[in-house]
Structure 1
Amino acid sequence: MTANVMVIVERQFDYPRQVVFRAWTAPEEMAQWRGSPGWHVEAETVTSDLRAGGRHHHVKLRDNDPSVRVTTDAVFTEYFEPDVFVARQRITGDPGIDPDRPLELRVEFTKMGRDGTLLRIVQGPYDAEVAGFHSKGWELELGRLQEFLDRTAGGVR
């Protein structure tokens, strides 16, 4: 199999870029929303050194079976707050991802209108057989991000 598919997911949020960027980069915020439904991030595992060359780490657990763990270790290759960050990732524990083949994650935050943010995720390369599954996972996680922002940043609009 050849990993040659990039997953691209976009969603617009009615919150300022700085608010959305912080939800992605502040460990205490990220731990509250990351993970598709049925998964959660183990809060005490989240670490981020927010700069180019800085490291990031988190572990996702399956809610109904905490022995199922997916670990992400990454190094930021670009970091420009609040516009974009890029990380080279090593993901272990996900049967659809070869832990010996690094992924790149690029997350862009584009100002839209007065206080909106267009979020664009580009991640890969994936094998074609699993790319759709991971694209759907990002869509579900962004739904959780929307709920988190509505709950915590509702007055910031």
Structure 2
Amino acid sequence: MTANVMVVVERQFDVPRDRVFRAWTLPEELRRWRGSPGWHVESETVAGDLQIGGRHTHVKVRDNDPGTRVTTDGVYTEYFEPDVFVSRERITGDPGIDPNTPLELRVEFTKYGRDGRGTLLRIIQGPYDPDVAGWHGEGWEKELTRLQNYLAGTGEYANGEDAS
């Protein structure tokens, strides 16, 4: 199959966009919430050089099978805090993604609401093979629920820490 599908996911947060942007880009925050249920980010693998041309990495590990690991290694091609970042990424360990074909990840942070204190987050990523695009969109939805819990200080974070 030809990888030709872009996944688009949006979520509104009642949190200022600079706060949401920091949660996405600062390694000490990213490691707290990334990963779908049943996965966590290995803290010591998270790194980020927050500028155009800067590299960022992290490794997600399956909770019940630590040998299952998905590595993301990216380079920022755009980085405009707190509005948007774009990254060209190679992902290894995910059976639905060809590690030799880079994906593009674009994350936009837009003010919303009457007072402009909320954030509309929009993720655009791909290209994916049509057979796996839906699964990856669902994965983003689950991760954004974790981000929402992290920002609200409620729920369980990706690394199993409790918010309390």
What is the rounded CA distance, in whole Å, between the counterparts of 2:133 and 2:120 in structure 1? 22
Q: Provide Cα deviations, 1:78-103, integer angstroms capped at 9, x if missing partner.
A: 00000000000000000000000100
1:53: Cα distance to partner? Answer: 0.2
Post-superposition Cα deviations, 1:42-63, rounded to whole Å, max 9, x if no partner, equal 0110000000000001000000
How much has 1:23 moved relative to structure 2?
A: 0.3
Matched residues in 2 for 1:56 and 1:43: separation? 13
- Counterpart position of 1:136: 138
Match of 1:150 in 2: 152
Q: Distance in 1 between matches of 2:96 and 2:124?
A: 17
Aligned partner of 2:161 in structure 1 is none
- State the shift of 1:34 in Å: 0.2
Within-5 A mapping of 1:16-27: 16-27=16-27
One-letter amino acid matched to 2:142: L
The number of equivalent residue pairs is 152
SS in 1 for 2:50: coil
Higher helix share: 1
Aligned to 2:3: 3
Q: Distance in 2 between matches of 1:21 and 1:36?
A: 19
1:88 aligns with: 88
**Displacement after TM superposition at 1:107 (Å):** 0.1
TM-score by length of 2: 0.92
Residue pairs, 1:6-155, within 5 angstroms? 6-113=6-113, 114=115, 115-151=117-153
Point out where structure 2 has 5 or more consecutive residues left out of the alignment. Answer: 155-164
Displacement of 1:75: 0.2
TM-score when normalising by structure 1: 0.96
RMSD, aligned CA = 0.7
Could you tell me how far apart the structure 1 residues matched to 2:76 and 2:26 are? 14
How far apart are 1:128 and its partner, in Å? 0.1
Q: 1:140, 1:78 → 2: CA distance?
A: 25
Code of the aligned partner of 2:122 = R
